[in-house]
Amino acid sequence: MSLSTPVVGLSPQSPSKRIKPKDVMLNILMSMTKEGASDGPQFVAPAKTSRDTLITTAYRLHRTRWRILEPYRRLKNALKKLQEDYLKSKEANALMRYVKLGQSVREVAMLEKQYWKLLNIPAQEGTEDANCYVVKIIELLEDTPTQLPPTRGIGALLQSTIGKPAEANVDTVLHDSLKARKSEDLVKECEGLYAQLYRLTKKYLGLRRLIKELHDKYEATRMFPIVPRYAMLKKMIKATLRAPEFADICHEQTE
């Protein structure tokens, strides 16, 4: 596939215009095979893909995966701690267990309000192809700036600048590392990253749903008396820990 071939849904490029990086990414990702991919999309590099394009593609896939990985770990760790707290609470008497369960659920539910620690990623639509969905996530997160906690004055100024030199260094190391690899290794890198990114996004959205439901249930029971609320807390925790989304990550280590 020629890199100048227009992708469905995009305006054709005139010969005098330079192809934009996003168009290159779309040309590559939209060429992924749709057959024999039961667990998700597969990356297939076009025959005429240039080495620079492969480097750019691998770089963008790495960056997008890192962007999702941080909030994913935050949600995963919170839910695994909830499981640990729930098991430990069985050793306490009824009153102390009620207090411990309330505190544990509250800590997890608070994540729903801390918007700057999470990402708003749309779910895959029923008729949306997996390839198109991953491309949409990549472009969406590239156009979405990193959110900072609400701070004013000098704190806001420091937060807007701190970490940028370190992030630039990481980007440089990543880009240099990719440039040192062979083209066939870059193709394999893209293949693995594309599948990882798709699975990570689906798992992240599943954990977001669990925590949103837990938050809503917790808020709805705050004004109930101790006795019925105690049973409600146990019920909402059990429902969360028995959900398929948690079962999918319960074997992973806390990070």
pLDDT given at position 44: 54
Q: How many CA atoms lie within 13 A of 164 on its CB side?
A: 8
pLDDT given at position 183: 84
Question: Stretch 40-65: mean pLDDT, rounded?
Answer: 77
For 121-178, how does the pLDDT look when each residue is reduced to its tens digit (9 = 90+)? 999 998 888 888 998 999 999 988 876 666 555 554 555 555 456 566 777 888 788 8
Dig out the tokens for 44 from the structure.
Answer: 């297939």
Angle, nearest 10°, between helix axes 21-29 and 130-142?
160
95's CB contacts (< 8 A; 6+ apart) are none
The region of weakest confidence among 42-46, 47-51, 132-136, 190-194 is 42-46
Q: Which residue has the higher pLDDT, 160 or 15?
A: 160
pLDDT tier at 41, thresholds 50, 70, 90: low
pLDDT tier at 100, thresholds 50, 70, 90: very high
Question: What are the angstrom distances between the C-alpha of 150 and each of 11, 60, 75, 163?
Answer: 39, 28, 20, 17
Angle, nearest 10°, between helix axes 94-109 and 183-220?
130
Residues, the chain, total? Answer: 255
Domain regions of the chain by residue span = 48-145+179-248
End-to-end alpha-carbon separation of the chain, Å?
A: 41
| pTM: predicted TM-score of the whole model, two decimal places | 0.78
The fraction of the chain above a pLDDT of 90, given in percent, is 49
Average pLDDT, the chain: 80
Give the residue from 168, 179, 194 showing the smallest Cα distance to 56.
Answer: 179
Secondary structure of the chain in HEC code, one letter for each residue: CCCCCCCCCCCCCCCCCCCCHHHHHHHHHCCCCCCCCCCCCCCCCCCCCCHHHHHHHHHHHHHHHHHHHHHHHHHHHHHHHHHHHHHHHCCCCHHHHHHHHHHHHHHHHHHHCCHHHCCCCCCCCCCCCHHHHHHHHHHHHHCCCCCCCCCCCHHHHHHHHCCHHHHHHHHHHHHHHHHCCCHHHHHHHHHHHHHHHHHHHHHHHHHHHHHHHHHHHHHHCCCCCHHHHHHHHHHHHHHHHCCHHHHCCCCCCCC
209: pLDDT strictly greater than 60: yes
Q: Which residue has the higher pLDDT, 46 or 239?
A: 239
